[in-house]
Amino acid sequence: MSKVNFLKEDLKFKTNQMNYLALHLEYKEEILFGRYITLKHIEPLLLKYPVEVIGVSVLGKPIYKLQFGTGKIKILAWSQMHGNESTTTKALFDFIKFLHSNTKESKDILDNFTFCLLPMLNPDGAKLYTRENANGIDLNRDAQHLSQPESVLLRKTFDEFKPNYCYNLHDQRTIFGVGEVPKPATVSFLAPAFNENRDVNEVRIKAMNVIVAMNETLQLLIPNQVGRFDDSFNLNCVGDTFQYLNVPTILFEAGHFAEDYEREITRKYIFIALISGVLFLNENDIVLSEIDNYLKISQNKVIFYDYVYKNVNINYDSNKKIINFAAQFKEILDNNKVTFEAVIAQIDNLENYFGHVEIDAQGETYTDNKNNFPIIDQKATFYLGKNIIVNGKQSS
């Protein structure tokens, strides 16, 4: 099919948001689900594709690379460099499945792009459900020292593949929100700085342009739930280093969507972002600067707790006091599953904060058969008057 025809099709594809949602339904890798994604989960899928082991982790686990496509635009993407950040790994496999669908859209993309994907850079951290690798090192602070085998492998892949674009794929916590009437930051992006001054050069503009295109698509689907991440410069971060080495680099942060603690909804929006970014690159050779539109994307702010309880009466030393307090989930790996344990995270000082769920006690009294006042780090199971709150949530 000619390029022109594809672009017409593509435009239809792009403007039809239902198509994106249908596309995800069709290409979702159903065997990946929830937050605990390890080598054991992805290895059966990897067998379907041209895969290569490029080296091993601290604990000797394989680090896989998938390379495919014959096009001139080269994209290097890596996921789960933070072991407990698995949402983008799920989305990446959905994306890979779509790219191998033999449809005219996928074939056209593979004619124009070459992908080099490291879908689990930190398999030890994935297994342990930790951010860091097995040596307790944050790989995203190791871009200069290259002290860890995983960091060396990423850098080696970067040097050999010579990408035109890099995608640095992460998850962010539920604490981030965007906007004045705040909504969760379901997806956030950053075109990292390449110097202390946070200057904008041609390389960074290229990254910003792709972000603007992905943002435009996502805004149709999740208005005001896309954020722009803080761009303070740190050359120890991989994105900052690659941008500094003149390769446009984009940080993706998969965040919270209401009640979606398994991040299955967010996964869909990361998939859509990946596709819309590639479609944008496929049709835009013209260098224009979208810096203004990039800066219009609301900045991420730390403004959320998972639960906020308002107007709670506390009886303390025979004094009555009305307080607000908040609970936050801790993610705990238990028997090969991540469970969410709500603990008290803040008492009062909640002026600029919101809860993903807010419960107004309307002056009812807090009791917990122990101290009868909330204590930081204590489990969020208690009574508000006659209402029982179990693991943060009002139980009916």
- Of 70-89, binders to Zn ion (CB under 5 A) are 82, 85
Binding string, 303-332, against Zn ion, x = CB under 5 A? ------------------------------
- Return the number of the residue (194 or 229) whose C-beta is nearest Zn ion: 229
Query: How many positions of this chain bind Zn ion (CB under 5 A)?
Result: 3
CA 248, CA 203: separation in Å to the nearest integer?
A: 5
263 binds Zn ion (CB under 5 A): no
C-alpha dihedral (356, 335, 61, 329), degrees to nearest 10? 20
What angle is formed at CA 135 by the lines to CA 133 and CA 137, rounded to 5 degrees? 60
- Return the number of the residue (89 or 112) whose C-beta is nearest Zn ion: 89
CA 193, 195, 200, 204 dihedral sign is negative
Helix (H) or strand (E) holding 251: strand 249-254
CB of 138 to Zn ion, least distance (A): 9
CA 171, CA 190: separation in Å to the nearest integer?
A: 13
- Return the number of the residue (23 or 185) whose C-beta is nearest Zn ion: 185
- Return the number of the residue (251 or 359) whose C-beta is nearest Zn ion: 251
CB of 82 to Zn ion, least distance (A): 4
CB of 174 to Zn ion, least distance (A): 14
**Among 255, 191, 261, residue whose Cα is nearest residue 222:** 255
| CB of 169 closer than 8 Å to CB of 88 | yes
Binding string, 133-172, against Zn ion, x = CB under 5 A? -------------------------------------x--
CB of 173 to Zn ion, least distance (A): 10
CB of 53 to Zn ion, least distance (A): 23
What angle is formed at CA 185 by the lines to CA 182 and CA 187, rounded to 5 degrees? 155
Site residues (CB under 5 A) for Zn ion? Answer: 82, 85, 170
